[in-house]
Amino acid sequence: MSAPLLEVRDLRTHFFTREGVVRAVDGVSLSVDRGRTLGLVGESGCGKSVTALSIIGLIPKPPARIVGGEVIFDGRDLTKLSERELEDVRGERIAMIFQDPMTSLNPTLTIETQLVETIRRHNDVSKREARRRGIELLDEVGIPNPDARIRDYPHHLSGGMRQRVMIAIALSCEPDLLIADEPTTALDVTVQAQVLDLLDELRREHDMAMIVITHDMGVIAEVADQVAVMYAGQIVEQASAVELFARPEHPYTEALLGALPQLEDAASRAGRLTAIPGRPPSLLDPPEGCRFAARCPYAGEPDGCAEHPPELRELRPGHLVRSEHPASERARSREGAPA
Partner 1 sequence: MTRLIVRRVLWTVPVILLVILMTFVLMRQIEGNPFRHSERAIPESIQQNLEEKYGLDDPWYVQYLRYVKGVVTLDLGPSLVLRNRDVNDIVREHFPPSLELGALAMAFALVFGIPLGLLAALRANKWPDYTAMVVANVGFAVPSFLVATLLIYFFAVRWGDVFDVPTSGWESWQSKVLPTIALGLGPMAYFARLTRGSVLETLQQDYIRTARAKGLRRRRVVVVHTLRNSLIPVVTAAGPILGFLITGSFVIEQIFAIPGIGRYYVTAVTARDYSVVMGLTVLLALIVIVANMVVDILYGILDPRTREAR
Residues within the interface to partner 1 (CB under 8 A):
56, 58, 83, 87-92, 95-96, 98, 100, 103-109, 117-118, 121-122, 153, 155, 166, 169
Nearest to 51 by CA among 202, 212, 251, 240: 212
Shortest spacing between CB 20 and partner 1, in angstroms: 19
Q: Quick one: 98 or 298, whose CB is closer to partner 1?
A: 98
Q: Quick one: 103 or 268, whose CB is closer to partner 1?
A: 103
- How far apart, in whole angstroms, are the C-alpha atoms of residue 4 and residue 74? 8
Shortest spacing between CB 95 and partner 1, in angstroms: 7
For the packed helices 159-171 and 111-122, what is the interaxial angle rounded to 10 degrees?
A: 20
Shortest spacing between CB 111 and partner 1, in angstroms: 12
Cβ-based neighbour number of residue 289 at 10 Å: 18
With H, G, I as helix, E, B as strand and everything else as coil, classify residue 24: strand
- How far apart, in whole angstroms, are the C-alpha atoms of residue 169 and residue 166? 5
Q: Quick one: 182 or 249, whose CB is closer to partner 1?
A: 182
Q: Quick one: 9 or 121, whose CB is closer to partner 1?
A: 121
Q: Which amino acid is at 150?
A: I
- How far apart, in whole angstroms, are the C-alpha atoms of residue 99 and residue 110? 20
- How far apart, in whole angstroms, are the C-alpha atoms of residue 312 and residue 7? 16
Shortest spacing between CB 329 and partner 1, in angstroms: 42
Q: Quick one: 178 or 299, whose CB is closer to partner 1?
A: 178
Strand-pairing partners, residue 6, are 32, 73
Q: Quick one: 170 or 305, whose CB is closer to partner 1?
A: 170
Shortest spacing between CB 146 and partner 1, in angstroms: 19
Nearest to 280 by CA among 219, 229, 216: 229
Cβ-based neighbour number of residue 265 at 10 Å: 8
Shortest spacing between CB 160 and partner 1, in angstroms: 17
